[in-house]
Structure 1
Amino acid sequence: MKRSIIRTAKTKDEAINEALKEINKTRDEVSIEIIEEESSGFLGLIGQKDAVVKISYDQDLDEGIDDLMKEIEEDSKKSLRENFDVTALSREITNEESSKEDEKVLEEKSIDKKSNQDERLDEANIVEEDELNTDVELYYKAKDLLEKILYNMHFEDIKVIGNLEDNIIKLDAKIDPKDTGIVIGRSGKTLESIETIIRKIINTRENNLKLNIDINNYKKRRDEKIIDLADKACKKVLKTRKPWNLKYMNSYERRLAHEQIGKYDKLDSHSEGEEPRRYVVVDYKID
């Protein structure tokens, strides 16, 4: 992600050095633009001007996420976090329930009372409906927040689609394919950080929700690749009857591999090694 800062000092070298020290970069890692040269003025007394420089650089992904966290917390704390305030949301639900209860009381004055069993069913339906509305509301909040994060990362032509299945919020962001790797990051770290930000804001744990964010179907393609890799290893083991080691994988990828291997009656699997060099071993079951 491209970033730039502007610094002023008595000389351009001082301004450049101050900027490099601040961003912890060397001259070879940045682009330097002299906006204004220093001037000593007439006889060194009149018309003195400081130098102004602009330093542009590629920001590290980890630093970008840290800055993004600050932007989200500072710029969106009131506009977003308050909207995601579970307490406020609960109060809103409570008020809606009270309103419905008042309407129910007025209605009961003009009609016969229902049986206790029917009343309990009605109350259960109201609770279920309110809980559904809450989940739907949080789904749209998560969707809007993902769009905001990607825009803050300076991506364009962003389209976020998704759905709410049971208690899982699934979002897939469509961006320029050439930017996919930037959003995902090495080993998916940047994408994981984005998920962490949104989980924290919508408070998935307290709301009993799960969040799954994908970028240009990256996760889907990764899952398919892992399953295909495990499937090919299974066929080799069935043919040679000798163990076969898969590549290093994270816990999620290993689980996918174990599930695929488990579909073969004559094969078994286990994991070996220490994180992050832990891998799946495909074994042939002894008859």
Structure 2
Amino acid sequence: MYQEFEGKTEKEAIDLAIEALGLERDEFDVEVLETEKGGIFNLQKKVKIRVHLNDGIVAEGSEDPENDFEHAVVDFVHQVTERMGYPADVRVKYREPGKLGLRLDSPHSGILIGKKGKNLDALQLLANIVAGRLDDRETRIIVDAENYRQRREENLIRLAQQVGDQVLQTRKSKLLEPMNPFERRLIHTTLNNIAQIATKSEGEGLYKQVRVVYRGME
């Protein structure tokens, strides 16, 4: 599986791939496809790269929909990706009580994931709205691509632990980047067992920030 990215330099294109896919640099190989020049006197440059994921990075195994509900949700998500201009093969990744996981396979997975997974979150929100209209059992739809959700979760746990250590050492609060509800809950849960630290969400809307606060031995 591969995705393509563009940047002003090869490093910028690689950094965009790392951010979009939530990967470490040693988890993929880079193929430089082309270098384009443009603008006045051909001074502006664009570098296009193709990112090949290393073995074991992409989640293996997927299934076809097995009932009308699954077919409807899968077809809907596929149609949305087509209208975006980045069609994806949508498969059932897993089934759990009250939860259905979908996997997107596409050469444009980086775009479908988006910065910090925001495009993936938007697709997931739309899928859940449609699912809610189709099924009274309130089945939650989880949309994933390139195993982004798991990698993002692992990165956030590491981030929470690092920030927790910083707050304990400096005794100064730290405000994290805006996150969706699931990501914020992960931060709260990771730091909940540290007595000297408190966490609270700040801001409005879907994407809020988590502040990690030192409270001593209260």
Q: TM-score, normalised by structure 2?
A: 0.55
Aligned to 1:241, which of 171, 176, 186?
171
| Counterpart check, 1:211 vs 2:211 | no
Query: Superposition pairs for residues 186-225 of structure 1, below 5 Å?
Result: 186=115, 188-202=117-131, 203=133, 206-225=136-155
| Counterpart check, 1:171 vs 2:76 | no
What is the match of residue 106 of structure 1? none
Inter-partner Cα distance in structure 2 for 1:247 and 1:195? 21
Inter-partner Cα distance in structure 2 for 1:245 and 1:153? 34
Q: Contact 1:161–1:173 at 8 Å: present in 2 too?
A: no
RMSD of the alignment, in Å?
A: 3.1
Which protein has the bigger helix share?
1
| Counterpart check, 1:183 vs 2:112 | yes
Distance 1:243 1:185, change over 3 A: closer
Inter-partner Cα distance in structure 2 for 1:277 and 1:210? 19
Aligned to 1:162, which of 90, 93, 102?
93
Structure 2: gaps (5+ residues): 1-65
1:213: how far off? 0.6
1:246: how far off? 1.9
Higher relative contact order (CA closer than 8 Å, sequence separation 6+): 2
Inter-partner Cα distance in structure 2 for 1:153 and 1:275? 24
| Counterpart check, 1:256 vs 2:186 | yes
| Counterpart check, 1:267 vs 2:197 | yes
Inter-partner Cα distance in structure 2 for 1:200 and 1:277? 18
1:224: how far off? 2.1
Distance 1:186 1:240, change over 3 A: closer
| Counterpart check, 1:283 vs 2:184 | no
1:261: how far off? 1.0
Inter-partner Cα distance in structure 2 for 1:257 and 1:208? 26
Inter-partner Cα distance in structure 2 for 1:233 and 1:274? 23
1:26-70 per-position Cα deviation (integer Å, ceiling 9, x unaligned):
xxxxxxxxxxxxxxxxxxxxxxxxxxxxxxxxxxxxxxxxxxxxx
Q: Contact 2:168–2:214 at 8 Å: present in 1 too?
A: yes
What's the % identity of the aligned pairs?
Answer: 26
Based on CA coordinates, which of the two structures has the bigger radius of gyration?
1
Structure 1: gaps (5+ residues): 1-134
Query: Superposition pairs for residues 1-287 of structure 1, below 5 Å?
Result: 136-151=67-82, 153-155=84-86, 158=89, 160-176=91-107, 179-186=108-115, 188-202=117-131, 203=133, 206-275=136-205, 278-287=208-217
Which protein has the bigger strand share?
2
Structure 1 segments (4+ residues) deviating >6 Å: none
Q: TM-score, normalised by structure 1?
A: 0.44
